Amino acid sequence: MKQRWKMEAIQTCEVMVYTKIFLKFLHKFWPCGPGKEFFMYAHERRGYYTFWQHMENAFPGSNILVVTLMNRESKRVEAQSDEETLKEAMGVLKNMFGPNIPNATDILVAATATIQSSLIINLFTILRYMGRIFFTGEHRSEQFSGYVHGGYLAGIDTSKALLEERRKERKTENQNHSLEPLLALTGSLTLTKADAVSSLHKCDIPTQLYLSGKLSIPEAIL
Domain ranges of the chain: 17-118, 191-222
pTM for the model: 0.50
3-state secondary structure the chain: CCCHHHHHHHHCCCCCCEEEEEEECCCCCCCCCCCCCEEECCCCCCCCCCEEEECCCCCCCCCEEEEEEEHHHHHHHHCCCHHHHHHHHHHHHHHHHCCCCCCCCEEEEECCCCCHHHCCCCHHHCCCEECCEECCCHHHCCCCCCCHHHHHHHHHHHHHHHHHHHHHHHHHHHHHHHHHHHHHHHHHCCCCHHHHHHCHHHCCHHHHHHHCCCCCHHHHHC
pLDDT at 169: 83
Q: Is the pLDDT of residue 143 over 60?
A: yes
Architecture of the CATH domain 17-118: Alpha-Beta Complex (3.90)
pLDDT at 144: 76
Strands 64-70 and 51-54 come out as antiparallel
pLDDT digits (tens, 9 = 90+) for 37-64: 999 999 989 899 999 999 998 889 999 9
pLDDT digits (tens, 9 = 90+) for 63-81: 999 999 988 898 899 889 9
- What is d(CA 95, CA 109) in angstroms, rounded to the nearest whole number? 21
pLDDT digits (tens, 9 = 90+) for 167-179: 888 887 777 666 5
Q: Is the pLDDT of residue 194 over 60?
A: no
pLDDT at 147: 77
pLDDT (average), residues 148-171 = 85
CB neighbours of residue 19 within 10 Å: 22
